[in-house]
Structure 1
Amino acid sequence: MSQDLRILQAARLKGRPTESDLIAAVGPADGAAAVQTLVAAGELDRVGARIELTAAGRSRLDTLLAAERATVDQERLRQHYLEFGAVNTEFKQLVTDWQLIDGEQPNDHTDPEYDARVVARLAALHERFAPLLEAFTGLVPRLETYPGRLTAALARVRSGDPAWFARPLIDSYHTVWFELHEELIGLAGLSRVAEAAAGRAE
């Protein structure tokens, strides 16, 4: 059941991922077989080379998420989520600085010294965030793939590939961070609309 939840949620968060992207996000060794079982059950659908969540899958996902949320210590989760807010604000500024120099000029990544400074800040944030992320995974074991996914994205950025900082449609640092934030919003029983209105949505 936990594996079904991982896969259905990843399909929701990613929109229409390829099967390999979906399996990479959830991490189960027998992910291909699990995806096929959900397709056969009518909860996932194959659209060309991509996978999408069906109405039946979304309904079951809502049920599974509600059951999971009922097992989570909400007081501790809300406390940690408040701590996450400060880190998230810092991360949003990092993304802005990565995309725009001085908040105005698009960053074409031809200045290696500028990029290196931003990447160093990202690495420092990543290290400082690790204990809080560990606290989240302790509360919700299903989130255990996020530390590795963030670390993998950071490693690609540090190796010199700027795409892995904030490019959409791949497991860039920004993509994984966004999905984690979406998970936390749902687990806390909040909504992205309300969080955006409060200035906390990434």
Structure 2
Amino acid sequence: MSHHSEPQLLVLHAVRLLGFAGVDAIAQRAGASTEETLILLRQAERSGWVQHLEFFDTDGWSLTDFGKWENERELALERHHADPDGEIAAVYRDFLPLNARMLRATTAWQIGPSAVDAFASNDHSDAGWDAEVLDEFERLGVELAPLVERLTKVLTRFEGILTRYETALRRAKSGQTMWVDRSDVDSCHLVWFQLHEDLIATLGLDRGTEV
């Protein structure tokens, strides 16, 4: 049976995945109400795990170094109970080749080689080029699906990833190019990046030494 994560873990983990975010965004990612999320954030703040920051007209929450350590401690404990057979690690190994392709596809989306500049920024004037890249994004989503299914059989918090990815891809293919790789919307690349970060955090790995 798939394991349901504790609310405190979900909120702290949402802060990690979002990096810096307001309470509403954290609540949405954690699958909790705004009121419950704020209570848990205040508790985490008293424990030194998160900090509330204000910049001009923007405010939000971020993890402290101690909070990152606590998040990884909770994730390791959860994995020990929910995944004794190491299925998440197995999925991660299968994910890495897809991740390499995602990096190449994102680069291809951002760079459109021309006759005079092999590293020219993609101005999206070449519909054929963009269509080929979006086809690769679509193939990646299809190949990601069974991996996410395996993950959700272990931990319910991986649910919803495919819906987010497919929604972003559908908008991108309708001509809204921001939904491919922008970080200020729930784009294909952002969804993928956060899944990657989730796997790394869950397994206690270091992105910098990743093979």
For the superposition of Structure 1 and Structure 2, which TM-score range results when normalised by the shorter chain?
0.7 to 0.9
TM-score, normalization: structure 1?
A: 0.84
1:37 aligned partner, one-letter code: I
Structure in which a larger fraction of residues adopt helix: 1
**TM-superposed deviation, 1:16:** 1.1
The residue aligned with 1:109 is 124
The residue aligned with 2:15 is 11
Q: For the residues of structure 2 that align with 1:55 and 1:36, how far apart are their CA atoms?
A: 20
1:148 aligned partner, one-letter code: T
For 1:167, which of 182, 188, 196 is the aligned residue? 182
Do 2:87 and 2:151's aligned partners in 1 also have CA atoms closer than 8 Å? no
Count the aligned residue pairs: 194
The residue aligned with 1:139 is 154
1:10-66 per-residue CA deviation (whole Å, 9 max, x = no partner) reads 1112221123332332333x2x01221123312544323322235664454233212
For 1:99, which of 100, 110, 114 is the aligned residue? 110
TM-score, normalization: structure 2?
A: 0.81
Is it true that 1:76 corresponds to 2:63 in the alignment? no
1:46 aligned partner, one-letter code: H
1:60-81 per-residue CA deviation (whole Å, 9 max, x = no partner) reads 4233212112122353322222
SS class of match (1:50)? strand
SS class of match (1:106)? coil
SS class of match (1:51)? strand
The residue aligned with 2:53 is 47
- In 2 relative to 1, CA 89–56 (structure 1 residues): closer, same or farther, beyond 3 Å? closer
Do 1:7 and 1:26's aligned partners in 2 also have CA atoms closer than 8 Å? yes
The residue aligned with 2:35 is 33
1:84 aligned partner, one-letter code: F
State the structure with bigger RCO (CA 8 A, min sep 6), 1 or 2: 2
Q: For the residues of structure 1 that align with 2:146 and 2:136, how far apart are their CA atoms?
A: 17
2:26 aligned partner, one-letter code: L
Report matched runs for 1:111-130 at 5 Å: 111-130=126-145
Do 2:181 and 2:190's aligned partners in 1 also have CA atoms closer than 8 Å? yes
- In 2 relative to 1, CA 14–192 (structure 1 residues): closer, same or farther, beyond 3 Å? same
Q: Which runs of 5+ in 2 are unaligned?
A: none
For 1:86, which of 75, 93, 97 is the aligned residue? 97
Do 1:12 and 1:53's aligned partners in 2 also have CA atoms closer than 8 Å? yes
SS class of match (1:168)? coil
